[in-house]
Amino acid sequence: MTSTISMGQYLFKRVAELGIEHVFGVPGDFNLTLLDQLFKVQELKWLGVCNELNGAYAADGYARIKGVPGVLVTTYAVGELSAMNGVAGAYAEHAGMIHVVGMPGRAVQEARLMLHHTMEPGMDQTIYAGMAEPIRKTHTILTDENTMAQEIDRVIEAGVKSKLPVYIYVPMDVVGIPLDASRLEKPLNTKVANSNSQMEDEVVKSTLELIENSSKPSILADVLTIRHGGRELARRLASVTQFPTYSTPLSKGIFDETDSKYNGVYNGEGKVNPPIGLIILKASYLVSFPGCADSLESSDLVLNIGFLLSDSNTGGFTRKIPDGNLVLLGHDYCQIHDKKFDGIHFLPVLKRIVEEIEKDPKQFSIPKPDTRAKVETPLLSTSTSGPITQSYIWQRIGRFLRPNDIILSESGTAQFGLTDATFAADMQLITQTFWSSIGYTVGACLGALAAAKEQQQQEEKQLTSNQNPPASSNRVILIVGDGSLQMTVQEIGSYIRFGFTPVIFVVSNDGYAIERAIHGERMGYNDISMLWDHQAMLGFLGARQETGIKGRSFACKTVEELEGVLTEEEFQGARCIQVCEIFMDKLDYPWRLSSQIAVARKKMAQAMALQG
């Protein structure tokens, strides 16, 4: 007799097969029986969050560290709609997500009863599924028990391969339907492969020929390289070729930034000339550090891998790389000079290119006699006392970081400022430069903490099995502004509840600094409540003496006070949850932010002049 498994357990067994260990969400009456099935799958742990938006952020953050989709479970209508902003951000930035939604039963849907969470009599109860159509790769509504298992597999496979959100809608009455358990013996097909092998061959062959014939090649690896699982391949390519390497604001950390071939964050150019800390940048490239853009743009071949060409990731669309020197290797097309190859994914292409070069580098004239000097990162401030400034803080936090740290940098001044820091080896950065939903990192930090815990447990298992010692445990460091924090602060309570110990830097600069920089510098709409006491926050949210949970908080208004905290061994150890509040002037902005705004204003003025 064929063994069976409930539909709910089948779904979550498939989730666990991907290596996922934590599921995020909020209970609601339409998903409660589904959650019962989740709790029967021993490989998974439930992390209940404070609201669905934060849950989506957490699933996104988990996916970015884990490399597999985060899983979010919400209830019909109010839950799934609350999560949509977070799902849209995951779609924009290719952070995979499986959003499971508990729905009313099939008979109830057919009768179109006026249930709670519906909007009017006779409403089609699948209307909310339609609202999510633009922010997902695919979806399924599990109504046909004859195809449920196949549909679950199809949707999960599509989500893993595309790195885009997918939706699985589960009516209440199908949760316990028995499915054929033997299907679980066949693994999911999650390998990315190009269907047009002839076109893939042409991309590989042409790229290798260009590499062989180039004299000043470079590698520019962008964020979708990371999202689509190509980070290690990009590093192997850099290692075997010894080409100069560059990242973008969103891909910062993809290469070892202490390596002699790493030349910085390429973010286009800007023809403005503001003073920056102790130096005045005389070069014209002021959305990138001096020399970075010159160095990259002088290349006769740029291998641009996993590109995401948004405004904030290209210095306001100021890249100057001629098409005749450019090879674009993307997730949905590749392009060599002016020839485009639609539907070709870079991952199999990059794998073949790396393997061919590793076989015999000399065949491709490697190493190259490239005489370009390494681009050095300028020191923006040598302050040892006095007020904390934007020019000082970001490179100082960079020196606080250490290998294997996971850092979350909130949209706003932190996002632009942290680009100035030199990262230690094997760091992972989570930021949301493209979608830029403020408050994102507080929720995403929960997901990163869960993923980091899984990594640490895996490392501990390696030790007990007498394998090579693992790397040091990951610290998780959150940098968030006081305005962004007020959006999603309650999720810090979840860190405490689940025993996580991040280091939290709160930038207190009296409101929405990035908005002030853009417009309305002294307008009240950029103000926030300044009545919050960040020093009391951890205690209110659960880290206090009577709970037995330790938390530490510091307030720093001067360089001397901050140095005292950053150099303290206990603070560096991150063995309990800690907050370091950093006070800065509300009209002090990172230079990259000011420069990019100036570039944007100039482009806008030019466009308006043409229209006039």
Query: Pick from 373, 391, 374: which is nearest to 382 by CA?
Result: 391
Q: Any known ligand binding at 482?
A: yes
Question: Can you read off the two tokens belonging to residue 404?
Answer: 């294997």
Q: Any known ligand binding at 60?
A: no
Dihedral pair phi/psi, residue 100, rounded to 5°: -100, 125
Question: Can you read off the two tokens belonging to residue 240?
Answer: 């075997």
**What does the alpha-carbon distance between residue 390 and residue 586 come to, in Å, rounded to a whole number?**
10
Question: Can you read off the two tokens belonging to residue 325?
Answer: 């020197």
Dihedral pair phi/psi, residue 34, rounded to 5°: -65, -40
Q: CB-side exposure of 349: number of CA atoms within 13 Å? A: 36
Dihedral pair phi/psi, residue 190, rounded to 5°: -115, 10
**What does the alpha-carbon distance between residue 456 and residue 471 come to, in Å, rounded to a whole number?**
9
**What does the alpha-carbon distance between residue 305 and residue 347 come to, in Å, rounded to a whole number?**
9
Query: Pick from 117, 157, 139: which is nearest to 31 by CA?
Result: 117
Query: Pick from 230, 242, 249, 216: which is nearest to 322 by CA?
Result: 216
Contact 103, 172 (CB under 8 A): yes
Report how far apart, in Å, the C-alpha atoms of 369 and of each of 150, 217, 304, 433, 465 are. 54, 10, 21, 36, 45
**What does the alpha-carbon distance between residue 306 and residue 221 come to, in Å, rounded to a whole number?**
6
Query: Pick from 355, 371, 374: which is nearest to 363 by CA?
Result: 355
Residue whose entry in the numeric block shows the structure tokens 């609350």? 82
Contact 29, 75 (CB under 8 A): yes
**What does the alpha-carbon distance between residue 10 and residue 3 come to, in Å, rounded to a whole number?**
12
Residue 217 bridge partners (DSSP): 301
Q: Is there a cis peptide before residue 367, judged by omega within 30 degrees of 0? A: yes
Q: Any known ligand binding at 510?
A: no
Query: Pick from 483, 482, 505: which is nearest to 579 by CA?
Result: 505
CA angle, 317 then 318 then 324, to 5°: 100
Instruction: Please tell me whether residue 498 adopts helix, strand or coil conformation.
Output: coil
Query: Pick from 494, 492, 574: which is nearest to 536 by CA?
Result: 492
**What does the alpha-carbon distance between residue 12 and residue 393 come to, in Å, rounded to a whole number?**
44
Residue 102 bridge partners (DSSP): 75, 170
**What does the alpha-carbon distance between residue 320 and residue 322 come to, in Å, rounded to a whole number?**
6
Query: Pick from 537, 420, 439, 540: which is nearest to 480 by CA?
Result: 439
Dihedral pair phi/psi, residue 98, rounded to 5°: -110, 110
Binding residues for Mg(2+), by number, are: 482, 509, 511
Binding residues, by number, are: 482, 509, 511
